[in-house]
Amino acid sequence: MFYTTINLFRYISKYRPKIVKEEKKNKECHKTLGYAQVPLPKPCEFLRKNTRIVPPRPVTVGPKCCLPCRRPCLPSCPVEKKEPSSDKTKAWEEGWKKGQGKRYPCPSTNEKETEEAKKQASAAKVCAKNFALENIRKVVHSVPRQPVPKYVDSHRGHSQSLLRSGLLPIYIHKKTYGKVPGYIVCRKSSVGSMGAPPVCQAPVPATPGVYVIPEEERQALLEGLRKNWNELQTAYQHMPILIDTMHKRARKERMEKELRRLELNISTLERHNQIYVVDDALCA
């Protein structure tokens, strides 16, 4: 038996070192540490356009296809042939050249000088302002922002506003707590300045047998009605809860009817100060 040895090796291109070198070269040109000391912008260039300092981008050698010598030629634009101008167009062109046509007036030299002077004055004002000092003053005189009071209602840290929760006595610490509202005070003062309204006294009836109950008698009637209502209400409260007979039901209905009648009479006497009574014997 014969044994043969085969040397297996990986193919490596002969251009590999050159390609690696070119790749590293293109990468190194993009690496930069920037300026040793970045120049600060002037105060007059504060928040203006195109004032940001950007380091110049390094120029790299692009692919050969993008070189100017390898770019394809662009087609040339066709030249339009001018038609021969007529007499009217020639006259209009001549008038335009002489200044007789419609055109916007150009600014004079004096106007240009004044505009330049204004720009220089505004730039000088901006440069004279010390922005750093202004910022320091604002920070010193500013009031620190207070944290929003909250309370945690769960073990996971869920929080809610403490002012709207009702846990703090906010209402009783208000300045208007326990005081008469302003509109009521104004209303009372306006009514007091106008004077008390005249009391309308009812005319004495001329009909025989009709008379007005005096105030003492009216108060006595009220006290008697209230006393009767209290006694009847006490008796009504002492009734049994279980109404199982017709007699109990009738008694309950009778007492409720009497209570309603007494309440109506009491409200009538309280609402009316003058009550007229008719004597049937005298009227007959």
| pLDDT (tens digit per residue) in 228-255 | 999 999 999 999 988 889 999 999 999 9
- pTM of this structure: 0.31
**255 is a domain residue:** yes
**277 is a domain residue:** yes
Distance CA 172, CA 170 (A): 6
**74 is a domain residue:** no
**164 is a domain residue:** no
Domain total of the chain: 1
**157 is a domain residue:** no
| pLDDT (tens digit per residue) in 171-208 | 888 888 989 988 999 988 888 777 655 555 555 555 67
| pLDDT (tens digit per residue) in 105-133 | 455 556 666 777 777 777 766 667 788 88
pLDDT at 89: 58
Look at residue 51 and tell me whether its pLDDT is greater than 80.
Answer: no
Look at residue 102 and tell me whether its pLDDT is greater than 80.
Answer: no
Q: For 12-35, what is the mean pLDDT?
A: 79
Range of the domain at 235: 211-283
pLDDT tier, 104 (very low <50, low <70, confident <90, very high otherwise)? very low
**128 is a domain residue:** no
**80 is a domain residue:** no
**69 is a domain residue:** no
